[in-house]
């Protein structure tokens, strides 16, 4: 029975230092700037680390925030991240059941209604160095917010990691970029260093959640975008939205088959011969997920910018590329 033995009791867990005042030298929590816009958060109580993009800062909880041991606010995006270490709230037959039950209880409390939690595959458990985990996403009624929750279980301890953001922000490419990093860089293992180049050099996009497109590429894309009719534009934007959200962690090298599949998906919506030639010409340069997401964002911004510049009176479907 998981949650009875060997997992520690609440009394045992109480010996773990609680959240001290943020900022003092005695704090169990450290935030160390890394490369570009990233910093590494460390919880010295349990050997947990998290590489976070968006220039995070340690801060205090806001009014009506849920309990948390540590809180971070991103300077580059409207996202707040919370960490909370707890004892098991109930006995469970396995670590997986404990993670799922704890996630669903927390999510139901935050959303004021039932929320299903799912278990990630074993590759994620290895990446996070945990015995079990559960994930959930839900809307928080107060403040029109949305929240992603990760409940990690290791050696009888339960760590909840959540990030909260405005509901509409989920449609922004910057959210997909943030999530692809933050989901992949949690490590509950003091022996593993959490470091690396999140944003690899790209011919299309600079580093950061709102990476600046390379000027020459951006200008060419904008010129091409101006000639795309509204119906074709909407179809292309829908495909590009899927590319942005599904590209993966920026540093991940992409197999040629994945690159080719994304190219076919985009070309399937493009009828303009000049734009087709542009897509065909740039795709051989794609090496990483950062490259793939970058070209999707450049094209998406170009398509929406060309509409804005012409002040077209015809309304277009809402696009996550705006």
CA distances from 266 to 90, 216, 243, 298, 303 (A): 48, 21, 9, 13, 13
| Whether the predicted pLDDT of 22 surpasses 80 | no
pLDDT of residue 5: 36
143 Rama sector, left if φ>0, alpha if ψ -120 to 50, beta otherwise: left
Indicate the pairing of strand 48-52 with strand 145-154.
Answer: unpaired
User: Do residues 115 and 136 touch, judged by C-beta distance below 8 A?
Assistant: yes
pLDDT band, very low/low/confident/very high, at 23 (cuts 50, 70, 90)? very low
pLDDT tens for 79-97 read: 999 999 999 999 999 999 9
Question: Are 46 and 169 in a shared domain?
Answer: yes
Other C-beta atoms lying within 10 Å of the C-beta of residue 166: 15
Nearest to 55 by CA among 181, 215, 166: 181
Question: Are 259 and 178 in a shared domain?
Answer: no
- Domain assignment present for 172: yes
Question: Are 120 and 62 in a shared domain?
Answer: yes
- Domain assignment present for 208: no
Question: Are 91 and 233 in a shared domain?
Answer: no
pTM of the predicted protein model: 0.85
| Whether the predicted pLDDT of 246 surpasses 90 | yes
DSSP result, 162-221: EEEEEGGGGGSHHHHHHHHHHTT-EEE-TTS-----SS---SSB-SSTTPPBPHHHHHHH
Q: What is the mean pLDDT of residues 99-121?
A: 97
pLDDT of residue 264: 96
pLDDT band, very low/low/confident/very high, at 2 (cuts 50, 70, 90)? low
Question: Are 41 and 184 in a shared domain?
Answer: yes
d(CA 211, CA 192): 28
Residue 117, both tokens: 């939690």
pLDDT of residue 45: 94
pLDDT band, very low/low/confident/very high, at 279 (cuts 50, 70, 90)? very high
Bridge partner residues of 103 (DSSP): none
- Domain assignment present for 133: yes
Enumerate residues 6+ apart whose C-beta is below 8 A from 203: 214, 217, 285, 291
Tell me what percent of the residues of the chain surpass a pLDDT of 70: 87
pLDDT band, very low/low/confident/very high, at 310 (cuts 50, 70, 90)? very low
Question: Are 171 and 25 in a shared domain?
Answer: yes
| Whether the predicted pLDDT of 8 surpasses 70 | no
| Whether the predicted pLDDT of 311 surpasses 90 | no
Total domains in the fold of the chain: 2
pLDDT of residue 224: 86
pLDDT of residue 210: 92
Q: Report the first-to-last Cα separation within the chain, whole angstroms.
A: 50
User: Do residues 54 and 79 touch, judged by C-beta distance below 8 A?
Assistant: yes
pLDDT of residue 27: 79
Question: Are 173 and 220 in a shared domain?
Answer: no
Residue 30, both tokens: 């450290």
pLDDT of residue 313: 39
Question: Are 180 and 278 in a shared domain?
Answer: no
Question: Are 19 and 105 in a shared domain?
Answer: yes
pLDDT band, very low/low/confident/very high, at 307 (cuts 50, 70, 90)? low
Backbone φ, ψ for residue 59 (5° rounding):
-150, -175
- Domain assignment present for 203: no
- Domain assignment present for 18: yes
d(CA 202, CA 109): 42
Tokens 């094209």 belong to 299
pLDDT tens for 12-21 read: 333 334 444 3
Write the CATH number for 65: 3.40.1000.10
pLDDT of residue 62: 77
- The number of C-alpha atoms within 13 Å of 250 and in the hemisphere containing its C-beta is 31
- The H or E element that residue 86 is part of is strand 80-86
- Domain assignment present for 19: yes
| Whether the predicted pLDDT of 25 surpasses 70 | no
pLDDT of residue 306: 58
Sheet architecture: strand order including 186-188: 29-33, 39-43, 48-52, 186-188
Question: Are 144 and 244 in a shared domain?
Answer: no
| Whether the predicted pLDDT of 7 surpasses 60 | no
Q: Which domain holds residue 68?
A: 10-188
- Domain assignment present for 264: yes
Question: Are 176 and 221 in a shared domain?
Answer: no
How does the average pLDDT of the chain come out, rounded? Answer: 87
Bridge partner residues of 147 (DSSP): 138, 164
- Domain assignment present for 196: no
| Whether the predicted pLDDT of 30 surpasses 80 | yes
d(CA 164, CA 140): 9
DSSP code of residue 107: H
Tell me what percent of the residues of the chain surpass a pLDDT of 90: 73
Question: Are 147 and 265 in a shared domain?
Answer: no
pLDDT of residue 305: 74
Q: What is the mean pLDDT of residues 257-270?
A: 96
pLDDT tens for 154-166 read: 999 999 999 999 9
Residue 192, both tokens: 């593993």
Q: What is the mean pLDDT of residues 283-294?
A: 96
pLDDT of residue 18: 44
């Amino acid at each position: 029975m998981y949650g009875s033995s060997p997992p520690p009791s609440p009394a045992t867990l109480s010996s773990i230092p609680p959240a001290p005042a943020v900022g003092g030298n005695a704090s169990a929590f450290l935030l160390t700037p890394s490369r570009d816009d990233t910093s590494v958060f460390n919880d010295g109580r349990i050997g947990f680390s998290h590489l976070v993009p968006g220039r995070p800062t340690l801060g205090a909880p806001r009014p009506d925030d849920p309990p948390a041991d540590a809180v971070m606010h991103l300077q580059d995006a409207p996202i707040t991240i919370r960490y909370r270490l707890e004892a098991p709230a109930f006995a469970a037959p396995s670590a997986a059941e404990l993670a799922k039950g704890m996630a669903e209880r927390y999510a139901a409390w935050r959303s004021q209604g039932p929320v299903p939690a799912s278990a990630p595959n074993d590759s994620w458990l290895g990446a996070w160095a945990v015995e079990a985990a559960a994930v959930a996403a839900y809307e928080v009624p107060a403040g029109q917010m949305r929240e992603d929750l990760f409940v990690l279980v290791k050696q009888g301890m339960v760590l909840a990691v959540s990030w909260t953001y405005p509901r509409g922000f989920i449609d922004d490419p910057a959210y997909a970029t943030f999530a692809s990093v933050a989901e992949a860089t949690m490590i509950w293992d003091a022996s593993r260093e959490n470091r690396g180049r999140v944003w690899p050099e790209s011919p299309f996009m600079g580093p950061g959640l709102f990476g600046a497109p390379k000027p020459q590429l951006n200008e060419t894309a904008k010129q091409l975008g101006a000639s795309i009719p509204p119906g074709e534009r909407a179809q292309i934007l829908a495909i590009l939205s899927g590319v942005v959200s599904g590209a993966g962690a920026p540093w991940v090298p992409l197999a040629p088959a994945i690159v080719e599949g994304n190219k076919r998906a985009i070309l399937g919506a493009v009828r303009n011969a000049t734009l087709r030639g542009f897509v065909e010409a740039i795709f051989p340069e794609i090496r990483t997920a950062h490259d793939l997401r970058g070209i999707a964002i450049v094209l998406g911004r170009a398509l929406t910018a060309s509409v804005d510049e012409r002040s077209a009176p015809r309304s277009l479907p809402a696009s996550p590329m705006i």
